[in-house]
Structure 1
Amino acid sequence: MNTLLIKRIWVLAGVLLFLVGCTNDLDVEPGDPEAFLDTDFYADPASYRSGLAGVYGNLSLTGTDGAGSSNIQGLDAGTSQYGRGWWNLQELTSDEAIWSWENDPGLRELNRNTWNADNVVLRGMFGRVMTSVSFANEYLRQTSDAALDGRGVDASLRADIAEYRAEARFLRALAYYHMVDLFGKAPFVTENDPVGAFQAPEYNRERLFEFIESELLEIIPQMVDPLQNEYARADKAAAWMLLAKLYLNAEVYVNQDRYADCLQYCQQIINSGYELTPNYLNNFKADNNDQPARNEIIFPIISDGVTTQNFGPTTVMVNGQVGSQEANGGNFGVNAGGWSGALRVPAEFSETFQNGNYNIDVRNTLITEDRIINIPDVSQRDTGFIIAKWSNLTSDGQPGSAIEIVDTDFPMFRLADAYLMYAEAHLRGGGGDLGTAVGYVNDLRARAGNPNAVAANRLTLDLILNERLVELYWEAHRRQDLIRFGRYTGGTYNWSWKGGSANGIAIDATRDVFPIPAASLAANPNLTQNPGY
């Protein structure tokens, strides 16, 4: 598949969507649908595919004028990029990453778990996620039976459009899943609601959970089989993965034990044809859109130094992991100085690798020479260890297409995660087989060259939590994992700078969810604030 072609399509279609999506109201639908996509646009049968590409484009793009533009008024491109917002809220709020430049708006509060309803990163993520809902809704309106009848669309094209509509509904379900996880509620809007100044009702976690589950179960038969869709478009395995994620966290979200369902869908994913990439680190390089990483990455957010430019999570990580004193950006295909030590890891993260039989393991990318493990002052960028997981070089060492904005796609869903989810669901009573669970964990260790196989009697939930850190760090899972394991709020587990203290202190359980942004509350009186904010 010509990946560059789809990236160009995303840009072109994204322009059409962004022209009408610009807003200063974070709880809105796009305006006049005729301004959004008029009849002339749909005169070309290929436009239905391009329109879908625009819905996907909201995951990567922030505006029409390059990486620095934003179509959400009052928010810059970095603050409002979808993948970066998800990454910031899962990683900087946990024990996996610290952002050095605490004068950047909103990030000091994430580092220190002291955010409030005025935090600009929260505002950006809330707005960007609801923009995905808006774009999906408008695409579904424009592809309804009535709309297609009015345009005289023939049966063969309608068959393709049915698949496109299923993907748009998947993207909307994904957006609402992120709202469930981050905010515990959302303004609920579908294609059946009015366009314009509509103040949506608030749905809590229970109602959103029910909607997401029912949507996914309904659309899965209409989606393309695993590995049969174009790269970066969702297939059945992506929908199974989203269901598995929903079920794995169901006790947190809705106080339901759904581990058996989680395990079932993990097994379907594992049996679907996706395969582990032989070289772990190739999942995080500039050509991870191609074989063999393509067979492990189930659903990515794309990035490209030329055509799909964005200050998304991979650009942040590749440049941010460059050491302030090492100036080692050339090793990762970016400027030598990168972003001068923007990202480091807390001591507790480093200790997991150093104390857990991971010394011989390619996943251990810690750079420790001439550095202390602790970060006594966040502004002291030469303290704390750094990592070398992400790269803007290809698997054969060639540079990406640009020197700062990277070609490396962000793997939102990856097969290795399904292996670990199966093992966790089994240990939590979801059925399956202990030998199979142990085998999946050891498959990941063997792929990483780790000689320390896990024995069946050593497979515990504590080990799974560590394995998830080692396998999935900086892939936007950690906050969710710590909450599910009861290690996030409270004082059971404290990490450096948790709660604003260098040694870490307990934080209140209300911080298991984020506050609804003040701007969103002001825009929609149907929304209510989460307790504790």
Structure 2
Amino acid sequence: MNCFTTKYMKTRILQLFTLVCGVSIALLSCKKLDLTPTNDLTADKVYTSAGGYKQALAKVYGAFALTGNASVGQPDIPAEIIKDEGNSDFLRLYWNLQELTTDEAVWSWQNDAGVQGLHELSWSSTNSIINGLYYRSFFQITLCNDFINQSSDDNLSKRGISESDATEVRKFRAEARFIRAYQYAVLMDIYGNPPLVTEQTEIGGKDLPKQIQRKDLFAYVESELKAIENELPAAKTNEYGRADRAAAWALLSRIYLNAQVYTGTERYTDAITYCNKITSAGYTLHNNYRELTIADNHLNKDEFIFTINYDGTSTQNYGGTTYLMHGPAGVPAEVSGSSGNWGGLRITQQFVNLFADKSGATDSRAQFYMSGQNMDVNDLYTSTDGYSSTKYRNKTRAGGPAPHQDVAKDFSDIDFPLFRLGETYLTYAEAVLRGGTGGSLTTALDYVNRLRTRAYNGSIAGNIPSSALTTDFILDERGRELWYEASRRTDLIRYNKFTTAAYLWAWKGGVKNGTAVNAKYALYPLPPTDLTANPNLRQNTGY
């Protein structure tokens, strides 16, 4: 199934390369770390060929899907998160901050580390999920920085790498730069003003990393993606699960759509430009919406641009799509294709009401489990209050078991689409409606109706006229199309509906019917440990 980060990755990933043995993510010490490995698998042995570099690159990718604790190089992930390794998975941390804080999700277990206060939008700077994502993102950035250093032209020359191998390794280096840019885009969106640590910082002087302002970080991410665009493999030519040019275009279109939030200056025309690159690259909508998030969704190369790959036997942890498969409350094992549900995730009635027909018989994107569940979330932490999700199912499109199902059915085989064509269509439409040039309302309407035709199982009954195509409609349609795909918080902020009274949902602000909250919650706080250790850092306003 997941051809790059699966079978050999679990057993080899932690052996391959241990030069980066730890990170206080803002590099808490001003002294250089002792990077001498404790085993005999040194850089000089790993980096002798393109094959060796590819194995090391697998560790960079693997940081998306594998978890770890202090013994494997993540000493700064909060202790309460480490107790359950699944909580240290990048996707679970990121998903929680993007979804549990919105109308799309609530979680039953208020005693779970970091959960209480997320949906209520009342967290503090010591929240372990907030701090955990920060450290996890920087952990992967550190792996990227080291790989970028190891694959420099100087090192390739010193190690006698042949020119043909060097050409291949430079593509690997561009992929590592893409992953680093992606993680900095996450930090820009979530925290606003983190420290900036690059390969030069890692090599360079004795000073602690400097904080970068959000608009400057935007410029950095943009410049990195443009610099590597032509170094990455052409769209649709790389191995499944690895970055190509379309992945860079998709990330650029996403940050351009949100540029006004990040920098104060709109970039809708640029968003359209990069959407056009994607739509001209041969991607098409997969013909069945409900096959986007199931166990053999690795077959969806028609629509998927970039994924985090999970495998039931080789990437076992309780984060990622395992969390999205098990988490929904009340869903029977035979429906989810798992060993049972955790009684955790539910959905507010305000989000459910985006669908006129909640059964899914009309719009197939309505994948709710309703039996034994109340639609209204009358009590935030009662597992039967709120419908549940059946969107992530560990079964194949034929209804059979997952290709790499573990015997106990504990772990997911479902890959997570970080970027797919459906988002591109909606980005294009919104950017056109907001005044961007280089596109047309006719094409925007066509893209939206293609999504709706698929959702309505090939029927045009759900198609809308041009008069219905508004920015507010796009927000609702993004909800219907992209729900549980870790984008809702960012979308609500862009529409000024996250902290304000312009849109209320159950228990927003800790009030049953919802209330506006302090605008500071549009950004998460930086971890106090980094603020204490690095005097260059300043906390976000209000924390």
TM tier relative to shorter chain: over 0.9
Asked if residue 181 in structure 1 is aligned to residue 189 in structure 2, the reply is yes
Confirm or deny: 8 A CA contact 1:9 1:53 kept in the other structure: no
**Paired amino acid for 1:59:** F
Distance 2:264 2:359 in 1: 35
Q: 2:328 aligns with which of 312, 321, 341?
A: 321
**Paired amino acid for 1:86:** Y
Asked if residue 85 in structure 1 is aligned to residue 88 in structure 2, the reply is no
Q: Which digits, 9 at most, give the CA deviation of each residue in 1:151-183, with x for residues without a partner?
A: 111100010011011111001100110010000
Aligned to 1:407: 413
Aligned to 1:459: 469
TM-fit CA distance, 1:13? 5.3
Aligned to 1:368: 370
Confirm or deny: 8 A CA contact 1:101 1:379 kept in the other structure: yes
Secondary structure of residue in 2 paired with 1:133: helix
Q: 1:34 to 1:46 in 2, by over 3 A?
A: farther
**Paired amino acid for 2:503:** Y
Q: 1:34 to 1:186 in 2, by over 3 A?
A: same
Confirm or deny: 8 A CA contact 1:287 1:408 kept in the other structure: yes
Q: Which digits, 9 at most, give the CA deviation of each residue in 1:179-220, with x for residues without a partner?
A: 100000111111112459762110011111111111111100
Confirm or deny: 8 A CA contact 1:18 1:63 kept in the other structure: no
**Paired amino acid for 2:446:** G
Distance 1:525 1:309 in 2: 38
Confirm or deny: 8 A CA contact 2:125 2:525 kept in the other structure: yes
Confirm or deny: 8 A CA contact 1:521 1:529 kept in the other structure: yes
Give unmatched runs, 5+ long, in structure 1: none
The sequence identity of aligned pairs, in percent, is 38
TM-fit CA distance, 1:473? 0.2
* Map 1:131-146 → 2, pairs under 5 A: 131-146=139-154
Aligned to 2:10: 11
Q: 2:55 aligns with which of 50, 71, 82?
A: 50
Distance 2:73 2:104 in 1: 29
Q: 1:22 to 1:344 in 2, by over 3 A?
A: farther
Secondary structure of residue in 2 paired with 1:185: coil
* Map 1:240-259 → 2, pairs under 5 A: 240-259=249-268
TM-fit CA distance, 1:31? 3.6
Q: 2:537 aligns with which of 514, 524, 527?
A: 527
Asked if residue 261 in structure 1 is aligned to residue 266 in structure 2, the reply is no
Distance 1:270 1:296 in 2: 10
The answer to which of 369-378 and 222-231 deviates more is 369-378
Distance 1:517 1:165 in 2: 30
Confirm or deny: 8 A CA contact 2:293 2:415 kept in the other structure: yes
Q: Which digits, 9 at most, give the CA deviation of each residue in 1:235-275, with x for residues without a partner?
A: 11000000001100000000111000001111111121111
Q: 1:104 aligns with which of 98, 109, 112?
A: 112
* Map 1:120-199 → 2, pairs under 5 A: 120-195=128-203, 199=208
Q: 1:390 to 1:167 in 2, by over 3 A?
A: same
Confirm or deny: 8 A CA contact 1:26 1:523 kept in the other structure: no
Aligned to 1:338: 341
Confirm or deny: 8 A CA contact 1:80 1:127 kept in the other structure: no
Q: 1:110 to 1:43 in 2, by over 3 A?
A: same
**Paired amino acid for 1:146:** D
Q: 1:278 aligns with which of 279, 287, 301?
A: 287
Q: 1:94 to 1:18 in 2, by over 3 A?
A: farther
Distance 1:309 1:356 in 2: 33
Asked if residue 201 in structure 1 is aligned to residue 210 in structure 2, the reply is yes
Confirm or deny: 8 A CA contact 1:298 1:411 kept in the other structure: yes
Q: Which digits, 9 at most, give the CA deviation of each residue in 1:270-324, with x for residues without a partner?
A: 121111111111110011112xx1221111111111111222231111111241x
Distance 1:215 1:13 in 2: 30
TM-fit CA distance, 1:359? 6.3
Give unmatched runs, 5+ long, in structure 2: none
Aligned to 1:296: 303
Distance 2:393 2:427 in 1: 26
Q: Which digits, 9 at most, give the CA deviation of each residue in 1:394-434, with x for residues without a partner?
A: 11112121212100011111110000000000000012111
Aligned to 1:239: 248
Distance 1:81 1:64 in 2: 11
Distance 1:471 1:138 in 2: 37
- What is the aligned-residue RMSD (CA, Å)? 2.3
Distance 1:17 1:377 in 2: 48
* Map 1:474-489 → 2, pairs under 5 A: 474-489=484-499
TM-fit CA distance, 1:71? 5.9
Aligned to 2:481: 471
Q: 1:390 to 1:425 in 2, by over 3 A?
A: same
Q: 1:420 aligns with which of 422, 426, 435?
A: 426
The answer to which of 202-211 and 448-457 deviates more is 448-457
Confirm or deny: 8 A CA contact 2:23 2:74 kept in the other structure: no
**Paired amino acid for 1:94:** T
Confirm or deny: 8 A CA contact 1:226 1:272 kept in the other structure: yes
Confirm or deny: 8 A CA contact 2:233 2:244 kept in the other structure: yes
TM-fit CA distance, 1:121? 0.4
Distance 1:64 1:531 in 2: 31
TM-fit CA distance, 1:14? 2.9
Q: 1:412 to 1:25 in 2, by over 3 A?
A: same
Q: 1:227 to 1:250 in 2, by over 3 A?
A: same
Q: Which digits, 9 at most, give the CA deviation of each residue in 1:430-475, with x for residues without a partner?
A: 1211111001010011011162211011100111011000000000
Aligned to 1:59: 64
The answer to which of 515-524 and 87-96 deviates more is 515-524
**Paired amino acid for 1:394:** T
Q: 1:24 to 1:3 in 2, by over 3 A?
A: closer
Distance 2:411 2:116 in 1: 24
Secondary structure of residue in 1 paired with 2:6: helix
Q: Which digits, 9 at most, give the CA deviation of each residue in 1:347-403, with x for residues without a partner?
A: 101111138998611101123344332111123212211121111111111212121
Secondary structure of residue in 1 paired with 2:512: coil
Aligned to 1:438: 445
Secondary structure of residue in 2 paired with 1:352: coil
Confirm or deny: 8 A CA contact 2:65 2:320 kept in the other structure: no
Q: 1:282 to 1:356 in 2, by over 3 A?
A: closer
